[in-house]
Structures are given as structure tokens and as C-alpha cells.
Amino acid sequence: MSSQLGNKFKVNIFGESHGKCIGVVIEGIPAGFEIDLDKLNLFMQKRKGKKNISTARNESDEVNIVSGFFNAKATGTPLTAIIKNSDVKSKDYEQLKNIFRPSHADYTGYVKYNGFNDYRGGGHFSGRLTAPLCVAGNIAMQILKKNYCIEIFSHIINIGCLDMGEKSFYSATYEEIKSINNKSLAFIDENAMNIAIEEIEKVKKNGDSVGGVIETGIFGIKTGIGEPIFDTIEGNIAKAIFAVPAVKGIDFGAGFSAGYMKGSEYNDRLNYVNDDEKNLKIETKTNHDGGINGGISNGMPIIFNTAVKPTPSIYIPQETINISTGKNTTLQIKGRHDPAIVTRAVYPVMSAAAIALLDLIL
């Protein structure tokens, strides 16, 4: 099973949803880098979401670093961090040993691993594994900010098909963007957040779920990061983002809207923004390319959208199969599940982007 990402900043995730623990091994943290554990723990708490619109599973998500960390600094050797699983209810998943949940990895995991996969809570395919991803991602974000003055922000721009009125990074000020860090959910606009909560509570009451879209911005990146052809910024970020369960799409800049535009509408005009001949700065007047040309950063913010599907575990009866009887059946899922994964996926998406970007920079 391949659960490793990166060449210079390597991240290897291990564990299962209902196992004793989950964790991550990280290689490539610069020796002597001071990891802010308070920032790391705050980030982990944000990933947990809000109780009324998230799963009832209550894990502390306390990060225990067991190697590669001494006197508050990285030693330069592999850093290993574990997170204990304590609030598990494995009995809820007994029926899923042979009856597969629609749109989950139950069926594919069963075939891939000849029926030996851990099906409890989704096992290694569970969203629970985004917790160690966030450990590595937040450390990467700390390195990016301190060593390279790069910051990453994500927020929810829509829930389902609702028009919530949430500002895009293209129209928001940088102060508004930074304000996301102070919100209980990742929104710029308070009214948009309230609309989203109301919608999620409604689908939860109906036993259903809803998807959404996350907008991510990478700010402060210099021109020249990335490689053409196979090691593009888009390719590396996309590969990392698809490690987040429930992600089904990603687009950069204007994305699929570019297919409906003329070149005269789309092209980002280059522009000098000051008169200091010794320190000329180049920007583009628009940012339809999302800060990337030829797979390489052009100095503008890298902006992309991530589509997150509705939680497949819903309480409405669904058609499926029973692998032990070879017959069709109906499944009504039990257990504790998020009515909207997107509210918590914000932080794994940021983490994946940070890991991919830092790996390219190194």
C-alpha cells in the first residue's frame, strides 16, 4: 500500500480509523527548525469541526511526537507523530464486513486486499487519516511561513448549490482573507457561514448529506517555483489534494470557465507595478492562470478550487450488494457521520497543498 508523498519533504501516513492509533512519519524537516506546538494543536482542533454539524465521534486528536524532536526543535532525523484513537464504536460496522456502502472504498478495498482490509470506520481509507496529514501539513505551513514568507488560506465558497454570497479571494482584501483564521468555520463572511450551517443542519435532520467547494490561496510565493511537464505545481498539488478522501475535482485560476472564454478575455496582461528601476516588480492585471504558467509560479497568488462530494454515509436506505450471499440488498447505515465533509476538509486541503509546495521548493 502506497501512503507516501514527496521527494525532499517526505510524508508517510499509517494507521486505521479504529486501530489503536494513527500517525505520520515526516522526513525533510530542516534540522533546528522550531515547531510551534500551540499552533499545531490549534490547527488540529479546527479540523475536528463543530459538534452540531459534524460527526459525534469525539477524539482529542492530541499529537504525540515520539522521534525527531528534541528541545522544541526538529533534529533533522525522521519525525514520527502518533494520535491515539479512543472514541471508537466498531460494532456499528459489523454489518459492513460483507455489505458494502455505496460510494465508499469498501468494495474496492475488499478486492484490492483480498478481503483482509480493516473495514471498521473505513480502515485506512477513512477521513480519520486526514488527522496525521494535518500534522505534516501544519509543520509544512510553519516552515513555509517562517523560512519563505508564504501563507496558505482556505475557505468554503459554497455548500451544495446554495448561493451563500461568500467572497472569493479574487475580490477579498488580504485582511479579510487573514480573518478566516479567527472564525469557528472557514468563511470570510459571517452571513455566509450562518446560511451554510442552516443548510447542513437541514440535511442532517433528513438523514442526508451535502457537498461543497473549497477555495485555496497561496500567498507570497516567488516566481520560478515548479518544473515543466511532469513536476508542475498544478500536478504536484493535485496529487496531494486527491489524498484527501471525498475530493472529486480541482481547478486552478479560471479553471473550467477558461473553456468558455476568448483569449482576449482570458489572457493575464503583464504589468510593472512600481517605478524603482533597481527593484522592478512584475504582476499580472488579472489572475485567470491562478498564479501558474508552464507549471511554474509567476509570482501571483496561486488560487485553486477543490470539489468535495457529499458524505457517502447517509441514514437513508440505499441499494447495494452482499458479497457473502451474492445477492442485491438494501443497507441503512448506522454509526456517526458528518453531514458535510467539506467543513472539515478545509484543513486537510491546506495541509496537502503545503506539503506539495514545500517539497517543490526544497
288 is in an annotated binding site: no
336 is in an annotated binding site: yes
Q: Quote the pTM value.
A: 0.93
299 is in an annotated binding site: no
Quote the mean pLDDT of the chain: 92
The second-level CATH assignment, the architecture, of 4-253+289-361 is 4-Layer Sandwich (3.60)
**DSSP class of 99:** B
Q: Where are the domains of the chain?
A: 4-253+289-361
47 is in an annotated binding site: yes
Pick from 180, 211, 244, 250: nearest CA to 338: 211
* Spatial separation of the C-alpha atoms in residues 53 and 85, rounded to whole Å: 21
128 is in an annotated binding site: no
Pick from 120, 97, 161, 107: nearest CA to 15: 120
pLDDT at 58 over 70: no
C-beta of residue 298 within 8 angstroms of C-beta of residue 291: yes
126 is in an annotated binding site: yes
Rg (CA), the chain: 21
| CA angle (230, 232, 235) in 5-degree steps | 80
124 is in an annotated binding site: yes
**Reported confidence tier of residue 170, pLDDT bands at 50, 70, 90:** very high
Better-predicted residue by pLDDT, 268 or 99: 268
224 is in an annotated binding site: no
309 is in an annotated binding site: yes
**Reported confidence tier of residue 362, pLDDT bands at 50, 70, 90:** very high
What pLDDT score was predicted for residue 57?
A: 60
**Reported confidence tier of residue 342, pLDDT bands at 50, 70, 90:** very high
What pLDDT score was predicted for residue 91?
A: 66
